[in-house]
Amino acid sequence: MLVPAVLPCGRCELCQRGLGTICRGQKMPGNDIQGGFATHVTVPARGLCEVDPLRLDTADLALADISVVADALTTPYQAVRRAGVKPGMLAVVIGAGGVGGYCVQVAHAFGAKVVAIDVDDLKLDALRPYGAALTLNAKGQAHKALKGAIIEFAQQNGLPRTEWAIFECSGTAAGQTTAWGLLVHGATLAVVGFTMDRVEVRLSNLMAFDARALGNWGCPPELYPEALDLVLEGKVKVKPFVEQRPLDSINDVLEAVHHRRIAKRVVLVPGS
């Protein structure tokens, strides 16, 4: 079973209207209820995502490998779905590590040509075999230069200069500012990453470009099977971006994460 990162109550009026992402009685394992780094947790039975062991074996994956489907993959999955990504569209993903890396893959799986933007060449290089048709390092680049490079790419590949789907996954003020600067006519800006920092934008750009901005909180449990299918069918790869470590190494892992010494997403496995 996969445990969703956000579990709506399923009973309230919002849930009944299909708005579980804003359910006020939702629970987050490790936050609202026990979870975190325990070996065993108790979670509500509703909303769990069943995993077929045979399909897992066929895909040469372990249950620990696909644990990242919960949140790291499902949140950008919901964002791509909401943005209406389809074949022939151009998608831009700001922040190519972690959640952003999966956003690149999901948008590619939905048929879009994907531009990945980051300030780390290693992260960008890692995504080229997994759906990033164009990679751009934003370090020291003005928004106009980035936008110009994307427009040139669109022209060369017969893609529209309008209606881009822009996904801000970096969770940084700089990334959010970059995403805003890339708005084009009819664009959809999906905010996937989170930061406490504030950014200053000209809100009238949404009006002038007839664009829209969407927030994305978690992912409804009912969409988890669809996201998991992408992984089990090989359309989204998780194994190259996951590293398993024993749970009792948690302090070393947290120290390494703090000092940015870990390139992959670490899955802590009890009893290993």
**Whether the predicted pLDDT of 145 surpasses 90:** yes
Structural domain boundaries, residue 41: 13-70+220-244
**Whether the predicted pLDDT of 99 surpasses 80:** yes
**Whether the predicted pLDDT of 38 surpasses 90:** no
- Chain-centre distance for alpha carbon 42: 26
Is there a domain that residue 239 lies in? Answer: yes
Same domain for 47 and 162: no
Is there a domain that residue 195 lies in? Answer: yes
Same domain for 188 and 58: no
Q: Is the dihedral of CA 149, 154, 155, 161 positive or negative?
A: negative
Beta partners for residue 91, in sequence order: 114, 165
pLDDT at 45: 85
Is there a domain that residue 110 lies in? Answer: yes
- Chain-centre distance for alpha carbon 271: 29
pLDDT at 228: 97
Confidence at 230, pLDDT banded by 50, 70, 90: very high
Confidence at 57, pLDDT banded by 50, 70, 90: very high
> How deeply is 153 buried, as exposed, middle or buried, from its count of CB atoms within 10 A (0-12, 13-18, 19+)?
middle
Same domain for 90 and 65: no
Mean pLDDT in the chain?
94
Same domain for 186 and 66: no
Query: What distance in Å separates the CA atoms of residue 136 and residue 150, rounded to the nearest whole number?
Result: 9
pLDDT at 235: 97
Same domain for 127 and 38: no
Is there a domain that residue 94 lies in? Answer: yes
DSSP letters, the chain, are -B--SSB--SSSHHHHTT-GGG-TT-B-BTTTBS-TT-SS----STT-B---HHHHHHTT--TTGGGGGTTTTHHHHHHHHHTT--TT-EEEEE--STHHHHHHHHHHHTT-EEEEEES-HHHHHHHGGGTEEEEEE-TT--HHHHHHHHHHHHHHTT--SSS-EEEE-S-SHHHHHHHHHT--TT-EEEE-S--S------THHHHHTT-EEEE--S--GGGHHHHHHHHHTTSS--GGGEEEEEGGGHHHHHHHHHTT---SEEEEETT-
CATH of the domain at 132: 3.40.50.720
| Cα–Cα–Cα angle for 75, 37, 12, rounded to 5 degrees | 50
Compute how many other C-beta atoms are within 10 angstroms of the C-beta atom of residue 249.
14
pLDDT digits (tens, 9 = 90+) for 188-215: 999 999 999 999 999 999 999 999 999 9
Same domain for 110 and 54: no
Same domain for 224 and 197: no
Same domain for 112 and 224: no
Report which of residues 141 and 58 the model is more confident about: 58
Here the tokens at position 132 are 């990033």
Mean predicted confidence (pLDDT) in 13-38: 90
Same domain for 210 and 102: yes
Confidence at 272, pLDDT banded by 50, 70, 90: low
**Whether the predicted pLDDT of 56 surpasses 70:** yes
pLDDT at 46: 86
Is there a domain that residue 234 lies in? Answer: yes
Same domain for 160 and 82: yes
Compute how many other C-beta atoms are within 10 angstroms of the C-beta atom of residue 83.
24
Mean predicted confidence (pLDDT) in 119-129: 94
Mean predicted confidence (pLDDT) in 259-266: 86
Same domain for 166 and 114: yes
Is there a domain that residue 261 lies in? Answer: no
Same domain for 53 and 25: yes
Is there a domain that residue 266 lies in? Answer: no
Share of the chain above pLDDT 90, in %: 85
pLDDT at 220: 94
pLDDT at 141: 87
Q: How many domains does the chain have?
A: 2
**Whether the predicted pLDDT of 36 surpasses 80:** no
Is there a domain that residue 167 lies in? Answer: yes
pLDDT digits (tens, 9 = 90+) for 58-94: 999 999 999 999 999 999 999 999 999 999 999 999 9
